[in-house]
Structure 1
Amino acid sequence: MSGITYVRGDATAPQGKGVKLIVHVCNDLGGWGKGFVLALSRRWPGPEAAYRRWHRERAGNDFGLGAAQFVQVEPFLWVANVVGQRGMRRGSKGVPVRYEAIDEGLRKVAEQAAVLGASVHMPRIGCGLAGGTWTRVEPLVARRLVDRGVHVTVYDHG
């Protein structure tokens, strides 16, 4: 009903033909070392290196909540580093996920997917270490991507 295809599998090995864009959520502290990013780094060093450089040089770029960085890892495969969580720990201010930042990042993903003619592939972004709920994220994915004609596949590991 949502227009999103759900499959069991590994989002770092996206299914289908054509240009593909893997989307995941990063934090705003420059930390890369837990969760889905480990699977990305096992396959390609580029997304981590680009994210760390983007954070390090943030005084002169757009790094921050809602920003998206696109890193080509293979001829027809890109990774989108979307800054969608504030910090890394759950605490008195709640969970790190920031839905409005994910929404803004997905807007940028939709633009890039259109430019590339790409389908989008992702785990349930913002719902792991970031502490979000898919019932809040799924409508953002549907509105920003599916409603604009972007084919989205969500991967549940296992």
Structure 2
Amino acid sequence: MREIAYVRGDATAPQGRGTRIIAHVCNDRGGWGKGFVLALSRRWPEPEAAYRRWHRERAGNDFGLGAAQFVQVSPYLWVANLVGQRGVRTSRSAGAPVRYEAIDAALGLLADKAAELGASVHMPRIGCGLAGGSWDRVEPLVRKRLVERGTEVTVYDFGA
């Protein structure tokens, strides 16, 4: 059985060869402007533009908690926008915006896409930054949805 590989580094510069998917969690309000998404936008404009369009046109598509959008940014590199956060955290928020069941559902869609492309998956500790989640709760979802299906997963902790 494969294991999750933990490395120090930048998830926007995924290691390895072949097709790779960078996965991250976004909110269900159409907001893009804090956290990991800023690093993505510095490298590629397409994931943000696609996410904003997906949200703007949500009346006619699948946008919502648990959905996933896949944006190709180069011939062998994709970004997965996973909707796993209800709104955003504010000073008046009553709890973390993370929604584990939505992350779980979106990871299932990610697993299907990774299998289709023969891709490895690369991510920061999704759902655990601005979404306020716990890696102790997210990691088993990543294992169940991706690793147990044979997908190679690398988790990046930012740093040198």
Structure 1 residue matching 2:66: 3-state secondary structure = coil
Match of 1:17 in 2: 17
The runs of at least 4 consecutive aligned structure 1 residues that moved more than 2 Å come to 90-93
Match of 2:81 in 1: 81
Structure 2 residue matching 1:84: 3-state secondary structure = strand
> What is the CA-CA distance between 1:89 and the residue it aligns to?
1.2
Name stretches of at least 5 consecutive residues in structure 2 with no aligned partner: none
Distance in structure 2 (CA, Å) of the matches to 1:142 and 1:74: 27
Distance in structure 2 (CA, Å) of the matches to 1:37 and 1:69: 14
Q: Which amino acid aligns with 2:51?
A: Y
Match of 1:101 in 2: 102
Distance in structure 1 (CA, Å) of the matches to 2:70 and 2:41: 15
> What is the CA-CA distance between 1:2 and the residue it aligns to?
7.3
Q: Aligned runs of 1:2-151 on 2, under 5 Å?
A: 3-89=3-89, 91=92, 93-151=94-152
Distance in structure 2 (CA, Å) of the matches to 1:93 and 1:20: 36
Q: TM-score, normalised by structure 2?
A: 0.96
Q: TM-score, normalised by structure 1?
A: 0.98
Percentage identity across paired residues of the two chains: 78
Distance in structure 2 (CA, Å) of the matches to 1:96 and 1:113: 26
Query: Deviations 1:81-103 (Å, cap 9, x if unpaired)?
Result: 00000000155541000000000
Distance in structure 2 (CA, Å) of the matches to 1:118 and 1:21: 7
Does the 8 Å CA contact 1:97/1:126 hold for their aligned counterparts? yes
Query: Deviations 1:29-73 (Å, cap 9, x if unpaired)?
Result: 000000000000000000000000000000000000000000000
Does the 8 Å CA contact 1:2/1:142 hold for their aligned counterparts? no
Aligned length: 158
Does the 8 Å CA contact 2:30/2:55 hold for their aligned counterparts? yes
Superposition RMSD in Å: 1.2
